[in-house]
Amino acid sequence: MTNLILFGPPGSGKGTQASKLVEKYGLLHISTGDLFRYEMGNDTELGQLAKSYIAKGELVPDEVTIGMLKNKVNANPDVSGYIFDGFPRTIAQAEALDAFLVEKEDDITALIALDVDDEEIVGRLLNRGKTSGRADDNDESIIRNRIEVYNNETSPVFDFYNKVDKAFKIEGVGGIEEIYGRLTQTIDGLL
Ligand code: ADP
Protein backbone atom coordinates (compact mmCIF):
# COMPACT_ATOMS: atom_id res chain seq x y z
CA MET A 1 0.00 0.00 0.00
CA THR A 2 1.04 3.59 -0.57
CA ASN A 3 0.06 5.71 2.43
CA LEU A 4 0.89 9.37 2.15
CA ILE A 5 0.46 12.17 4.64
CA LEU A 6 -0.04 15.51 2.93
CA PHE A 7 1.18 17.99 5.48
CA GLY A 8 1.34 21.73 5.89
CA PRO A 9 -0.35 24.68 7.57
CA PRO A 10 -4.02 25.59 7.01
CA GLY A 11 -4.44 27.01 3.53
CA SER A 12 -1.23 25.46 2.21
CA GLY A 13 -3.12 23.75 -0.60
CA LYS A 14 -3.37 20.21 0.78
CA GLY A 15 -6.98 19.70 -0.31
CA THR A 16 -6.37 21.02 -3.84
CA GLN A 17 -3.30 18.86 -4.35
CA ALA A 18 -4.84 15.78 -2.71
CA SER A 19 -7.72 15.79 -5.23
CA LYS A 20 -5.20 15.75 -8.07
CA LEU A 21 -2.99 13.11 -6.47
CA VAL A 22 -5.81 10.61 -5.84
CA GLU A 23 -6.53 10.54 -9.57
CA LYS A 24 -2.94 9.87 -10.52
CA TYR A 25 -2.15 7.28 -7.84
CA GLY A 26 -5.60 5.72 -7.26
CA LEU A 27 -5.53 6.38 -3.52
CA LEU A 28 -8.39 7.25 -1.18
CA HIS A 29 -8.32 10.85 0.04
CA ILE A 30 -9.21 11.18 3.71
CA SER A 31 -9.52 14.76 4.96
CA THR A 32 -10.43 15.01 8.64
CA GLY A 33 -11.53 18.63 8.04
CA ASP A 34 -13.96 17.43 5.33
CA LEU A 35 -15.20 14.63 7.58
CA PHE A 36 -15.90 17.13 10.37
CA ARG A 37 -17.65 19.51 7.94
CA TYR A 38 -19.83 16.62 6.73
CA GLU A 39 -20.83 15.84 10.34
CA MET A 40 -21.47 19.54 11.06
CA GLY A 41 -23.57 19.80 7.90
CA ASN A 42 -25.74 16.94 9.14
CA ASP A 43 -25.79 18.39 12.64
CA THR A 44 -24.79 15.05 14.19
CA GLU A 45 -23.57 14.72 17.75
CA LEU A 46 -19.99 14.48 16.47
CA GLY A 47 -20.59 17.52 14.28
CA GLN A 48 -21.86 19.59 17.19
CA LEU A 49 -18.88 18.63 19.29
CA ALA A 50 -16.41 19.39 16.48
CA LYS A 51 -18.05 22.75 15.81
CA SER A 52 -17.32 23.99 19.31
CA TYR A 53 -13.59 23.60 18.64
CA ILE A 54 -13.42 24.43 14.93
CA ALA A 55 -15.25 27.73 15.40
CA LYS A 56 -12.47 28.88 17.72
CA GLY A 57 -9.64 27.61 15.52
CA GLU A 58 -8.77 24.91 18.08
CA LEU A 59 -8.11 21.25 17.40
CA VAL A 60 -10.86 18.73 17.99
CA PRO A 61 -9.72 16.37 20.82
CA ASP A 62 -7.46 13.52 19.75
CA GLU A 63 -9.69 10.60 20.84
CA VAL A 64 -12.58 11.95 18.78
CA THR A 65 -10.47 12.64 15.71
CA ILE A 66 -8.57 9.35 15.88
CA GLY A 67 -11.82 7.37 16.29
CA MET A 68 -13.38 9.08 13.28
CA LEU A 69 -10.26 8.48 11.16
CA LYS A 70 -10.12 4.78 12.02
CA ASN A 71 -13.79 4.36 11.13
CA LYS A 72 -13.20 5.92 7.73
CA VAL A 73 -10.19 3.69 7.01
CA ASN A 74 -11.96 0.56 8.25
CA ALA A 75 -14.98 1.36 6.08
CA ASN A 76 -12.72 1.50 2.99
CA PRO A 77 -10.36 -1.47 3.13
CA ASP A 78 -10.20 -2.32 -0.58
CA VAL A 79 -7.99 0.49 -1.78
CA SER A 80 -4.34 0.64 -2.78
CA GLY A 81 -3.57 3.23 -0.14
CA TYR A 82 -4.61 6.49 1.47
CA ILE A 83 -3.76 10.15 1.31
CA PHE A 84 -4.20 11.59 4.78
CA ASP A 85 -4.96 15.30 4.63
CA GLY A 86 -5.16 17.27 7.87
CA PHE A 87 -4.22 14.18 9.89
CA PRO A 88 -2.14 13.56 11.96
CA ARG A 89 -2.12 17.03 13.50
CA THR A 90 -0.56 16.12 16.87
CA ILE A 91 2.16 13.70 17.97
CA ALA A 92 -0.51 11.63 19.76
CA GLN A 93 -2.41 11.31 16.46
CA ALA A 94 0.79 10.30 14.64
CA GLU A 95 1.51 7.61 17.24
CA ALA A 96 -2.07 6.35 17.03
CA LEU A 97 -1.92 6.27 13.22
CA ASP A 98 1.35 4.33 13.21
CA ALA A 99 0.01 1.82 15.73
CA PHE A 100 -3.23 1.43 13.77
CA LEU A 101 -1.33 0.76 10.53
CA VAL A 102 1.00 -1.72 12.27
CA GLU A 103 -2.11 -3.71 13.29
CA LYS A 104 -2.87 -3.89 9.57
CA GLU A 105 0.75 -4.86 8.78
CA ASP A 106 1.08 -1.61 6.96
CA ASP A 107 2.87 1.71 7.46
CA ILE A 108 3.26 5.30 6.33
CA THR A 109 5.17 5.58 3.06
CA ALA A 110 5.99 9.27 3.44
CA LEU A 111 4.91 12.60 4.81
CA ILE A 112 5.16 15.45 2.34
CA ALA A 113 4.96 18.98 3.68
CA LEU A 114 3.92 22.00 1.65
CA ASP A 115 6.07 24.86 2.86
CA VAL A 116 4.17 28.18 2.94
CA ASP A 117 4.95 31.15 5.21
CA ASP A 118 2.50 32.57 7.76
CA GLU A 119 1.66 35.85 6.00
CA GLU A 120 0.90 34.08 2.72
CA ILE A 121 -1.38 31.73 4.70
CA VAL A 122 -3.35 34.56 6.32
CA GLY A 123 -3.91 36.18 2.92
CA ARG A 124 -4.99 32.91 1.30
CA LEU A 125 -7.41 31.99 4.09
CA LEU A 126 -9.05 35.43 4.19
CA ASN A 127 -9.43 35.17 0.45
CA ARG A 128 -10.86 31.64 0.67
CA GLY A 129 -13.27 32.89 3.35
CA LYS A 130 -14.97 35.12 0.78
CA THR A 131 -16.26 32.07 -1.08
CA SER A 132 -15.82 28.98 1.15
CA GLY A 133 -18.64 29.83 3.53
CA ARG A 134 -16.32 28.62 6.32
CA ALA A 135 -16.67 30.72 9.46
CA ASP A 136 -13.13 29.72 10.51
CA ASP A 137 -11.77 31.42 7.35
CA ASN A 138 -13.53 34.72 7.94
CA ASP A 139 -11.97 36.11 11.06
CA GLU A 140 -8.30 37.06 11.16
CA SER A 141 -7.91 36.33 14.89
CA ILE A 142 -9.27 32.78 14.39
CA ILE A 143 -6.94 32.30 11.43
CA ARG A 144 -3.96 33.48 13.51
CA ASN A 145 -4.98 31.06 16.26
CA ARG A 146 -5.07 28.18 13.74
CA ILE A 147 -1.56 29.11 12.61
CA GLU A 148 -0.34 29.23 16.20
CA VAL A 149 -1.88 25.83 16.93
CA TYR A 150 -0.19 24.54 13.78
CA ASN A 151 3.21 25.90 14.81
CA ASN A 152 2.94 24.61 18.39
CA GLU A 153 1.11 21.30 18.10
CA THR A 154 1.24 20.18 14.48
CA SER A 155 4.68 21.10 13.14
CA PRO A 156 6.41 18.59 15.53
CA VAL A 157 4.71 15.84 13.49
CA PHE A 158 7.18 16.68 10.70
CA ASP A 159 10.13 15.88 12.98
CA PHE A 160 8.39 12.73 14.17
CA TYR A 161 8.51 11.31 10.62
CA ASN A 162 11.81 13.00 9.79
CA LYS A 163 13.49 10.92 12.49
CA VAL A 164 12.62 7.81 10.50
CA ASP A 165 13.61 9.48 7.20
CA LYS A 166 10.05 9.63 5.93
CA ALA A 167 9.50 13.40 5.87
CA PHE A 168 9.93 15.55 2.78
CA LYS A 169 9.43 19.27 2.35
CA ILE A 170 8.51 20.98 -0.88
CA GLU A 171 8.01 24.65 -1.78
CA GLY A 172 4.28 25.33 -1.48
CA VAL A 173 4.18 28.76 -3.10
CA GLY A 174 3.66 28.86 -6.87
CA GLY A 175 1.09 27.73 -9.41
CA ILE A 176 -1.12 24.69 -8.69
CA GLU A 177 0.47 22.72 -11.58
CA GLU A 178 3.96 23.72 -10.56
CA ILE A 179 3.41 22.48 -7.00
CA TYR A 180 1.69 19.34 -8.29
CA GLY A 181 4.80 18.70 -10.42
CA ARG A 182 7.05 18.99 -7.37
CA LEU A 183 4.79 16.62 -5.41
CA THR A 184 4.61 13.93 -8.09
CA GLN A 185 8.37 14.10 -8.61
CA THR A 186 8.89 13.48 -4.89
CA ILE A 187 6.29 10.71 -4.73
CA ASP A 188 7.55 8.97 -7.90
CA GLY A 189 11.01 8.93 -6.35
CA LEU A 190 9.62 6.93 -3.42
CA LEU A 191 7.53 4.31 -5.23
P1 ADP B 1 -7.33 23.81 7.29
O2 ADP B 1 -6.19 22.88 6.96
O3 ADP B 1 -7.61 24.81 6.24
O4 ADP B 1 -7.24 24.40 8.66
P5 ADP B 1 -9.11 21.55 7.67
O6 ADP B 1 -10.28 21.40 6.80
O7 ADP B 1 -8.01 20.56 7.53
O8 ADP B 1 -8.64 23.02 7.33
O9 ADP B 1 -9.53 21.61 9.21
C10 ADP B 1 -10.49 22.49 9.69
C11 ADP B 1 -10.58 22.38 11.20
O12 ADP B 1 -11.01 21.05 11.57
C13 ADP B 1 -9.27 22.58 11.96
O14 ADP B 1 -9.00 23.95 12.21
C15 ADP B 1 -9.54 21.79 13.26
O16 ADP B 1 -10.34 22.53 14.15
C17 ADP B 1 -10.37 20.62 12.78
N18 ADP B 1 -9.51 19.46 12.46
C19 ADP B 1 -9.25 18.97 11.23
N20 ADP B 1 -8.41 17.92 11.29
C21 ADP B 1 -8.11 17.75 12.61
C22 ADP B 1 -7.27 16.86 13.34
N23 ADP B 1 -6.53 15.92 12.72
N24 ADP B 1 -7.22 16.99 14.69
C25 ADP B 1 -7.94 17.91 15.33
N26 ADP B 1 -8.73 18.80 14.71
C27 ADP B 1 -8.83 18.73 13.36
- What is the C-alpha radius of gyration for the chain, rounded to an integer number of angstroms? 16
pLDDT-derived band of residue 15, with 50, 70 and 90 as boundaries? very high
pLDDT tens digit sequence for 71-80: 999 999 999 9
Structural domains in the chain? Answer: 2-190 (3.40.50.300)
pLDDT tens digit sequence for 25-44: 999 999 999 999 999 999 99
pLDDT-derived band of residue 21, with 50, 70 and 90 as boundaries? very high
Q: pTM to 2 decimals? A: 0.96
Residue 136 CA: which ligand 1 atom is closest? Answer: 14
The answer to whether 134 is a known catalytic residue is: yes
56, 128, 166, 169: the catalytic one is 128
Residue 58 CA: which ligand 1 atom is closest? Answer: 16
The answer to whether 182 is a known catalytic residue is: no
Our answer on whether the CB atom of 124 is closer than 6 Å to any ligand 1 atom is no
Our answer on whether the CB atom of 87 is closer than 6 Å to any ligand 1 atom is yes
